[in-house]
Protein backbone atom coordinates (compact mmCIF):
# COMPACT_ATOMS: atom_id res chain seq x y z
CA UNK A 1 0.00 0.00 0.00
CA UNK A 2 1.37 3.40 -0.98
CA UNK A 3 1.74 6.33 1.41
CA UNK A 4 -1.15 8.13 -0.27
CA UNK A 5 -3.38 5.09 0.13
CA UNK A 6 -2.46 4.82 3.82
CA UNK A 7 -3.23 8.50 4.36
CA UNK A 8 -6.58 8.10 2.63
CA UNK A 9 -7.44 5.08 4.76
CA UNK A 10 -6.43 6.93 7.94
CA UNK A 11 -8.62 9.89 6.96
CA UNK A 12 -11.55 7.57 6.32
CA UNK A 13 -11.06 5.91 9.71
CA UNK A 14 -11.13 9.27 11.45
CA UNK A 15 -14.67 9.72 10.17
CA UNK A 16 -15.84 6.31 11.43
CA UNK A 17 -17.36 5.62 14.85
CA UNK A 18 -15.37 4.02 17.66
CA UNK A 19 -16.71 0.51 17.23
CA UNK A 20 -15.76 0.45 13.56
CA UNK A 21 -12.22 1.57 14.35
CA UNK A 22 -11.93 -0.93 17.20
CA UNK A 23 -12.88 -3.75 14.84
CA UNK A 24 -10.07 -2.67 12.50
CA UNK A 25 -7.66 -2.84 15.43
CA UNK A 26 -8.91 -6.31 16.34
CA UNK A 27 -8.27 -7.37 12.74
CA UNK A 28 -4.62 -6.43 13.17
CA UNK A 29 -4.58 -2.82 11.98
CA UNK A 30 -2.31 -1.30 14.62
CA UNK A 31 -2.36 2.11 12.95
CA UNK A 32 -6.12 2.26 13.47
CA UNK A 33 -5.50 2.40 17.21
CA UNK A 34 -3.72 5.72 16.64
CA UNK A 35 -7.06 7.15 15.55
CA UNK A 36 -8.53 6.26 18.95
CA UNK A 37 -5.52 7.75 20.74
CA UNK A 38 -5.88 11.02 18.85
CA UNK A 39 -9.61 11.03 19.51
CA UNK A 40 -9.43 10.60 23.28
CA UNK A 41 -5.96 11.57 24.44
CA UNK A 42 -6.87 15.14 25.42
CA UNK A 43 -9.87 14.32 27.60
CA UNK A 44 -8.30 11.25 29.22
CA UNK A 45 -5.30 13.41 30.10
CA UNK A 46 -7.58 16.09 31.56
CA UNK A 47 -9.29 13.46 33.72
CA UNK A 48 -6.07 11.94 35.05
CA UNK A 49 -4.27 15.29 35.43
CA UNK A 50 -7.10 16.67 37.55
CA UNK A 51 -6.86 13.71 39.91
CA UNK A 52 -3.09 13.38 40.34
CA UNK A 53 -2.26 17.09 39.86
CA UNK A 54 1.11 16.31 38.33
CA UNK A 55 1.91 16.83 34.66
CA UNK A 56 4.51 14.09 34.23
CA UNK A 57 2.65 11.53 36.31
CA UNK A 58 -0.50 12.19 34.29
CA UNK A 59 1.40 11.70 31.04
CA UNK A 60 2.74 8.36 32.27
CA UNK A 61 -0.69 7.21 33.40
CA UNK A 62 -2.30 8.21 30.12
CA UNK A 63 0.35 6.25 28.24
CA UNK A 64 -0.30 3.27 30.51
CA UNK A 65 -4.03 3.63 29.89
CA UNK A 66 -3.68 3.42 26.13
CA UNK A 67 -1.15 0.59 26.31
CA UNK A 68 -3.55 -1.44 28.45
CA UNK A 69 -6.45 -0.56 26.16
CA UNK A 70 -4.50 -1.83 23.18
CA UNK A 71 -3.39 -4.98 24.98
CA UNK A 72 -6.94 -5.80 26.05
CA UNK A 73 -8.81 -4.49 23.01
CA UNK A 74 -10.08 -8.02 22.34
CA UNK A 75 -12.12 -7.84 25.57
CA UNK A 76 -14.06 -4.79 24.42
CA UNK A 77 -17.62 -5.45 23.31
CA UNK A 78 -19.53 -3.02 21.14
CA UNK A 79 -21.27 -0.35 23.14
CA UNK A 80 -19.33 2.64 24.41
CA UNK A 81 -15.58 2.64 23.86
CA UNK A 82 -15.19 6.03 25.56
CA UNK A 83 -16.61 4.75 28.84
CA UNK A 84 -14.55 1.57 28.57
CA UNK A 85 -11.41 3.68 28.13
CA UNK A 86 -12.31 5.89 31.09
CA UNK A 87 -12.64 2.81 33.30
CA UNK A 88 -9.11 1.77 32.36
CA UNK A 89 -7.79 5.28 33.07
CA UNK A 90 -9.64 5.30 36.39
CA UNK A 91 -8.18 1.95 37.43
CA UNK A 92 -4.65 3.02 36.43
CA UNK A 93 -5.01 6.19 38.47
CA UNK A 94 -6.42 4.40 41.51
CA UNK A 95 -3.60 1.86 41.41
CA UNK A 96 -1.02 4.64 41.18
CA UNK A 97 -2.48 6.59 44.12
CA UNK A 98 -2.65 3.48 46.29
CA UNK A 99 0.93 2.57 45.42
CA UNK A 100 2.12 6.12 46.10
CA UNK A 101 0.37 6.31 49.45
CA UNK A 102 1.94 3.05 50.54
CA UNK A 103 5.47 4.18 49.68
CA UNK A 104 5.50 7.88 50.60
CA UNK A 105 4.70 9.94 53.65
CA UNK A 106 4.43 13.17 51.66
CA UNK A 107 1.52 13.91 49.36
CA UNK A 108 1.17 13.79 45.60
CA UNK A 109 0.24 17.47 45.61
CA UNK A 110 3.70 18.46 46.85
CA UNK A 111 5.12 17.23 43.54
CA UNK A 112 2.54 18.98 41.38
CA UNK A 113 3.53 21.64 38.93
CA UNK A 114 1.38 23.84 36.75
CA UNK A 115 3.27 25.13 33.73
CA UNK A 116 1.96 28.46 32.50
CA UNK A 117 2.83 29.41 28.94
CA UNK A 118 0.70 32.53 28.64
CA UNK A 119 2.39 35.68 27.38
CA UNK A 120 1.33 39.29 27.23
CA UNK A 121 -0.64 38.97 30.46
CA UNK A 122 -0.67 41.57 33.17
CA UNK A 123 1.88 40.33 35.79
CA UNK A 124 -0.41 41.07 38.72
CA UNK A 125 -3.34 39.30 37.08
CA UNK A 126 -1.12 36.37 36.12
CA UNK A 127 0.05 36.06 39.70
CA UNK A 128 -3.53 36.14 40.97
CA UNK A 129 -4.69 33.60 38.40
CA UNK A 130 -1.83 31.19 39.00
CA UNK A 131 -2.29 31.51 42.75
CA UNK A 132 -6.00 30.79 42.39
CA UNK A 133 -5.29 27.72 40.26
CA UNK A 134 -2.76 26.50 42.81
CA UNK A 135 -5.21 27.06 45.66
CA UNK A 136 -7.97 25.29 43.76
CA UNK A 137 -5.73 22.28 43.12
CA UNK A 138 -4.72 22.29 46.77
CA UNK A 139 -8.39 22.39 47.76
CA UNK A 140 -9.21 19.56 45.36
CA UNK A 141 -6.38 17.56 46.88
CA UNK A 142 -7.92 17.83 50.35
CA UNK A 143 -11.05 16.00 49.22
CA UNK A 144 -11.37 12.25 49.69
CA UNK A 145 -10.69 10.39 46.39
CA UNK A 146 -14.38 9.60 45.88
CA UNK A 147 -15.33 13.28 46.10
CA UNK A 148 -12.42 14.32 43.89
CA UNK A 149 -13.48 11.90 41.20
CA UNK A 150 -17.13 12.97 41.33
CA UNK A 151 -16.21 16.64 41.05
CA UNK A 152 -13.78 16.10 38.18
CA UNK A 153 -16.20 13.99 36.16
CA UNK A 154 -19.12 16.36 36.69
CA UNK A 155 -17.57 19.81 36.62
CA UNK A 156 -14.27 19.49 34.78
CA UNK A 157 -15.21 16.89 32.18
CA UNK A 158 -18.89 17.95 32.23
CA UNK A 159 -20.31 14.43 32.17
CA UNK A 160 -23.90 13.67 33.02
CA UNK A 161 -24.76 11.35 35.88
CA UNK A 162 -25.58 8.44 33.60
CA UNK A 163 -22.09 8.55 32.10
CA UNK A 164 -20.55 8.91 35.54
CA UNK A 165 -22.44 5.85 36.80
CA UNK A 166 -21.26 3.70 33.89
CA UNK A 167 -17.63 4.70 34.46
CA UNK A 168 -17.54 4.43 38.24
CA UNK A 169 -20.21 1.84 38.94
CA UNK A 170 -21.60 4.15 41.65
CA UNK A 171 -25.40 4.74 41.85
CA UNK A 172 -26.60 8.11 40.56
CA UNK A 173 -28.07 9.10 43.93
CA UNK A 174 -24.71 8.60 45.65
CA UNK A 175 -22.88 10.43 42.87
CA UNK A 176 -25.15 13.44 43.36
CA UNK A 177 -24.39 13.41 47.07
CA UNK A 178 -20.65 13.27 46.36
CA UNK A 179 -20.83 16.13 43.86
CA UNK A 180 -22.81 18.24 46.33
CA UNK A 181 -20.36 17.56 49.15
CA UNK A 182 -17.34 18.24 46.93
CA UNK A 183 -18.77 21.59 45.83
CA UNK A 184 -19.54 22.57 49.40
CA UNK A 185 -16.08 21.68 50.71
CA UNK A 186 -14.31 23.36 47.81
CA UNK A 187 -16.40 26.51 48.25
CA UNK A 188 -15.45 26.67 51.92
CA UNK A 189 -11.76 26.22 51.11
CA UNK A 190 -11.76 28.82 48.35
CA UNK A 191 -13.76 31.29 50.44
CA UNK A 192 -10.84 31.67 52.84
CA UNK A 193 -8.45 32.29 49.95
CA UNK A 194 -10.70 34.90 48.31
CA UNK A 195 -11.22 36.74 51.60
CA UNK A 196 -7.46 36.80 52.14
CA UNK A 197 -6.88 37.98 48.57
CA UNK A 198 -9.37 40.84 48.99
CA UNK A 199 -7.65 41.93 52.21
CA UNK A 200 -4.30 42.06 50.39
CA UNK A 201 -5.85 44.14 47.62
CA UNK A 202 -7.15 46.79 50.05
pLDDT digit string (tens) for 75-120? 999 889 999 999 999 999 999 988 877 775 444 444 443 333 334 4
Per the model's pLDDT, the better-predicted residue between 73 and 54 turns out to be 73
| Residues 6 or more apart whose Cβ sits within 8 Å of residue 20 | 13
Q: What mean pLDDT do residues 34-56 have?
A: 92
Separation of alpha carbons 21 and 40, rounded Å:
13
Q: Where along the chain do its domains lie?
A: 1-113, 120-202
Check if the beta carbon of residue 109 is closer than 8 Å to that of residue 145: no
Q: Which pLDDT does position 195 carry in this prediction?
A: 65
Strands (E), the chain: none
Q: What's residue 12's pLDDT?
A: 79
Distance CA 77, CA 130 (A): 43
CA atoms within 13 A on the CB side of 53: 21
Per-residue pLDDT band at 141 (split at 50, 70, 90)? confident
pTM of the full structure: 0.73
Topology of the domain covering 1-113: Rna Polymerase Sigma Factor; Chain: A (1.10.1740)
Which CATH class for the 120-202 domain? mainly alpha
Amino acid sequence: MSIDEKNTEATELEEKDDDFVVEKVKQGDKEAFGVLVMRYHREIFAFVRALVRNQHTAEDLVQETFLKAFAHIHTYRKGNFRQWLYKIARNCTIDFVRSWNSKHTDSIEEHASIPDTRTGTDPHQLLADSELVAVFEEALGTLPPALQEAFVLKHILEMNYTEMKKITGVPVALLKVRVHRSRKRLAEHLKHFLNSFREKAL
